[in-house]
Amino acid sequence: MWSLTPNLDHRLRLLSRSWAALGLFAAALLIAEPAHACQYSQVLEPVGHASAEFFTKRMAPEATFVDVAVAEEIHPAFGGARPPAPTVYSTTFRVIYRLKGQSPDRLSLYVHQLKTGDPIPEPKHFVDDQGRVSPYPYPHEVDPKSPFITNSCDPGFLGVKAGQAYVIFREADGRLLGAVPTHEGRSERAFPLMPVTLDESFGWLYSAVIATAGQKPESVARQPSSNLMAVRFRTGLSAGEAERWTRAAAVRPVAVSIARGKLIEESRGPLEQADASLIPYAMQASAANRGRYLRALAAQFLDETDERLELDLALQQEADLLFQSAAAEPDGAAPARVIAIEVTGTPQALAKLARNPQVAGVAAGFEVRGRTGADPLVGRAAPVRPWTGSDRRETGPSLRARLRALADGRPLPEPVLIPPTPPVDPFSFTGCIRIGEADALALGHPLFTQFGSFRLYAPSTTDCTRTATALTCRLPAQSAVRLDAGTRVGGFRVGPRPAVFELKEGTISCRREGAQ
C-alpha cells in the first residue's frame, strides 16, 4: 500500500513572505531540509489510493526502471576525483520486486537516512480551481554536482528509513525520476520514491504499472549517445585488473557492476565525475552490504501479517519475493568480481572497445528524457510477476517458519507445500454426465431402440422396458449412450455404478441406480 501514516510531519514549514523570512532563508541554504517559504491557498490532502494510482500511471511510462526495494546501508557517495563539499551521502537499496526494467539486485541513490524517531516524509496533493490533482512539493534526491538548496520553496532532500520498503521510479541514468506530464500542458515532479508496506498487497501498484506498459510517450523516445558505452567482460575481474583495463582502454567508469555469487550490485556516479576510483569504491560498497535489512523487513512482515498468511494468496506471494531475494544473497566467502562496466571516453576509445579481447559484449549508450544510460549486459533476474497465478501453495506454518529463519539470519528450511487437491469425481454427485453432440457421435453405437421421435444408440448390454408413456433403460457401469431427438443429438456417460435412463412424457432423466 501507499504509505499513509496520518501523524507524519514532513517538516516543510510554511513561512510568511516577510523580511524576517529572508533571514531564515539565508540560513536554510546551509542545511539539507530548509524551511518552506511558499504559501498554498489550496487545502493539502494526504495521497490516498486514488491519487497514488493517478500519479503512478503518469510516472510509470516516463520511468526507465520501476522497482520495490528495501533501504539498507548509508555511506559517503562517490564523488569522483574531487569529492564535493559538503560530503554527499548515498543509501543502498536491495531490489525485491522488478516492475519495469532490469535493475541490479542492489543499487544506490543520493538520499540520506532518517534518524531514529524522525518522521517519514508524507506525500500530499491538492486540487486546483479546475479540479486537477497536483502533487505538493516533495523532498528530492541530492544533486551530487551541486548539493545545496537554492531557493526558499525547495522542499529539501529525501531521507529514508533503513529496513523500510519503497517503490522507486528511476531515469535511464539511475537517478530518481524528474518531472512528468500530469495534465495537458503541465509537468510536475511527483513522488518517485515512496514507502510501501508488504503487510497489505501492493497488487494495485503492479496493476497500475502494467496498465501503462504499452504507452510510449514521445518524451521517452531513445536517442543515441556517443559518450557512453556498456561493457561486459568475458570473466570477472578483480578491482586491480579492472582499473588496469580502464587505463589501458583510455576510458573512465560511470557505473560498475559487481557480482558476488548470484547477486549483482551496482555503483554509479554522475557522468561528469567519471573516474577510475569508482572501481575500488564499488568494491568497498559491496563489502559493506550484508543483507541485514532484508532480514529486518522479513521480521516486520511476519509480525504484521501473522495468521493472515494462511488465507491471503497475495501475502504468500509477497513472502515468496522475500525468499527469492534471500536466496540470491551470497555468503561471506563469495568473492566480488567486476563483471560489467559503463564507461565514457573519446569517440576513438569507445570505438575500439568492441575489439578488446577481454570484452564479451558492448552496447552503445542512449539518451531518454535528457538522461544518458545503457542497457544492462549482465544477467538480471527476470521481472517477478506474482499476481499472474501460482501452481504451488505453501502451508501457513511453513511460510512463518521460513520467514522467521530469514529474520534470524538462519538458512531457510525447505518449503512444505499444500498437497494438491485431488480432481473432483463428477460421478460422486450423479450417476450420469451429459455429453455433447461430438462426443455422442464418436461413440459409434448401433441403434438400440426408438421411442416416438427419440432414437437411442446404446451397447447391446443395455436393458430397456417400455410402456405407452415411458421408456426406462438400465445402463451398464462405465458405459455411454447416444440419444437423438430430431435434429438434436446428445447423450450420457455412466459412472462406476449402473444407471437408470428414463424418457417419460417428453422428459429425459438419468440417475444412479437405486437413487430416487
pLDDT digits (tens, 9 = 90+) for 215-236: 788 888 888 888 899 999 999 9
Per-residue cell: 263: 547477486
Q: How confident is the model at residue 40 (pLDDT cuts 50, 70, 90)?
A: low
- The pLDDT tens digits of the residues spanning 22-38 come to 232 233 333 334 444 56
Least confident residue range of 152-161, 258-267, 453-462 = 152-161
- For position 81, what pLDDT does the model report? 58
Residue 424 vs residue 279, higher pLDDT: 279
* Element housing 223 (H / E): strand 223-237
User: What's the DSSP call for residue 80?
Assistant: T
Whether residue 82 has pLDDT greater than 70: no
State the alpha helices, DSSP H only, in 38-130: 49-59
Q: What is the pLDDT of residues 339-370, one digit of tens each?
A: 999 999 999 999 898 888 888 888 888 899 98
Q: Contact at 8 Å (CB) between 399 and 309?
A: yes
User: Is the CB of residue 92 less than 8 Å from the CB of residue 107?
Assistant: yes
Q: Give per-residue pLDDT as tens, 387-443.
A: 444 556 788 899 999 999 999 989 999 989 888 777 766 656 678 999 999 999 999
Phi, psi of 309 (to 5 degrees): -60, -30
Q: Is the pLDDT of residue 20 over 60?
A: no
State pTM to two decimals.
Answer: 0.75
Tell me whether residue 309 is exposed, middle or buried, using C-beta atoms within 10 angstroms of its C-beta: 0 to 12, 13 to 18, 19 or more.
buried
> For residue 236, which amino acid is it?
G
Mean pLDDT of the 174-203 span = 86
What is the total residue count of the chain? Answer: 516
d(CA 20, CA 17): 8
Instruction: List Cβ neighbours of 98 (8 Å cut-off, separation of 6 or more).
Output: 66, 67, 380, 381, 383, 384
